[in-house]
Amino acid sequence: MSTQLNRRSFAAAAATLGAGLASSTAAAATAANAPPLGVLDKLDVAALQAAMSAGRLSAVELTRHCLKRIEALNLRGPQLRAVIELNPDALAQARALDAHRRHKKSPQVRGPLHGIPVLLKDNIATADKMSTTAGSLALAGLHAQRDAHIVERLRAAGAVILGKTNLSEWANIRSNRSSSGWSSRGGQTRNPHVLNRSPSGSSSGSAVAAAAHLAPLTVGTETDGSICSPAQACGVVGFKPTVGLVSRSGIIPISASQDTAGPIVRHVRDAALLLQAMAGTDPTDPVTLTQAATLPDFTAGLQPDALQGKRIGVIRAAVPNQPAVAALFEKALATLREQGAVLIDPMVIPNYAEARRGEFTVLIHELKDGVAKYLAAYQSDAPVKTLADVIAWNKAHAEQAMPFFAQETLEAAVATQGIEAPGYVEALANCRRLSRAEGIDAMFAEHKLDAIVGPTGNIAWPIDHLLGDRFTGGGFGSMFAIAGYPHLTVPMGMVGGLPVGISFAAQAWQDARVLALGHAFEQASPHLQAPRYLQETGLN
């Protein structure tokens, strides 16, 4: 069956379904189509909270500001398609939170996110008027029966749940020829810096929304690269926590071994605040019970001298074959030295290739098992109950669901023999041993490291629905994804109008340290730049 579709019939079908898909021939916007940044857009969460505490700002005003930017940038102007759905109750939530703050007799502030709008990736369940679909038309219009655990925590911390962000459909596990940021429900998310370049994925919409100042905070999810890669491509901060720090309950899964939610924001301090709100134990996600009884204050170590005396390994193999990125990385290393870091250069992660060899086997076995469990627990009224049902639905609606690429990865997952299969058990054990004890942990112990650094990846490539994504190497995030260890990306500079990032990573549960090191670099060498919404770059 052909996976290509006549563009005119594709647009017509999408309109009929109300999916909001954009024709791939839609005219690119110029910088003049985008509203300039206002005062609110330049404030971090702490400054926004200070303004609200002083009565200079309300949650309603902040929420309305975000909604206006989404209206101007999401389906109009540059047509970013970062937001797949807005919460019709967002303003009502903001009003209630303002009332709590201004109560005459007993003012109440729920937490550090009181009144702060948050956008969630559309694989995170919310028990409200919004759908939870992983970008799939098979789940469009359906509602989760209860909140994901992290959504419960965000509400308890006072966040305004503003809406859902677009993503690479099924978190980019549907096909090996996919286009990052495209989903059958939401269309193609576009990189706000250069509109014809990929936003990367799978948390594409969250990264684009953060970069374009559509909300102060966004949440993404990662199995392998899906937070840090789009964050780097869009020039913002992305943090993948240690697996088990944040509950996965209520998040449409790929892998019980590697999945986690995490912050995608503009400032490392905001990542720490958002992580603080989301982190914690959850009896329905047993991996969270392995975390420390008392979590650290993730903001406490965010000091400008955090790099002083820290031993940091330099992963030269992470440098992509792009000279301009290599040059920026050398400047970043100079900054680390100036801040007192001791660089061990170069370092090689042991067993990197060997650990990655079994990852695909682990993922497709866990995908089949996890999707069925999620649907039963959170969306039992869905017309699809299993991954096999999803495949059948896509085939029956191929014009709308598979116009550009197929679903061979889903089919490979359905063909597996379950998580009791010897091949899966062996692959999982090998991945854990090679990535942890005989990989990252061995390297850290031998060289007495506090962290390692390297470029996060390569420059964003042109969007290409025919050939799919064009990764050209670089980065080391896969090893930390397989191990389940923390990984942070921070803006490192620009090449041809496109951002690139530097990664900081460490051993399990060293999340506070990684955030502190990244924050110190960010303060010493700030590279956050507002998008220019260019039609194209001069790069080839």
Residues annotated as catalytic are: 121, 202, 226
Question: Which residue has tokens 């969630």?
Answer: 120
CA nearest to 175, candidates 207, 148, 202: 202
DSSP-derived letter for residue 504 is E
For residue 21, give both structure tokens.
């898909």
DSSP-derived letter for residue 31 is G
**Rounded to an integer, what distance in angstroms lies between the CA atom of residue 367 and that of residue 388?**
11
3-state DSSP assignment of residue 13: helix
3-state DSSP assignment of residue 106: coil
**Rounded to an integer, what distance in angstroms lies between the CA atom of residue 225 and that of residue 351?**
19
Phi and psi based region of residue 468 (left: phi greater than 0; alpha: psi -120 to 50; beta: remaining): left
Question: Which residue has tokens 């193999």?
Answer: 317
Give the strand pairing for 217-222 and 237-240.
unpaired
Long-range contacts made by residues 343-346, C-beta under 8 angstroms, separation at least 24? 343/312, 343/313, 343/314, 344/311, 344/312, 344/313, 344/314, 344/447, 344/449, 345/313, 345/314, 345/316, 346/314, 346/315, 346/316, 346/317
**Rounded to an integer, what distance in angstroms lies between the CA atom of residue 210 and that of residue 140?**
24
**Residue 47 CA, distance from chain mean position:** 24
- Do 313 and 443 touch, CB atoms closer than 8 A? yes
Long-range contacts made by residues 412-420, C-beta under 8 angstroms, separation at least 24? 412/364, 413/173, 413/364, 413/365, 413/367, 413/368, 413/387, 414/368, 414/387, 414/388, 416/364, 416/365, 416/368, 418/365, 418/368, 418/369, 419/365, 419/366, 419/369
CA nearest to 471, candidates 225, 247, 125, 222: 225
DSSP-derived letter for residue 180 is T
- Do 468 and 199 touch, CB atoms closer than 8 A? no
**Rounded to an integer, what distance in angstroms lies between the CA atom of residue 249 and that of residue 451?**
29
For residue 148, give both structure tokens.
């994901």
Angle at 420 between CA 418 and CA 423, to 5 degrees: 85
**Rounded to an integer, what distance in angstroms lies between the CA atom of residue 393 and that of residue 388?**
9
Angle at 172 between CA 429 and CA 213, to 5 degrees: 120
Going from the C-alpha of 154 to that of each of 12, 246, 282, 316, 383, the distances in angstroms are 38, 12, 14, 38, 29
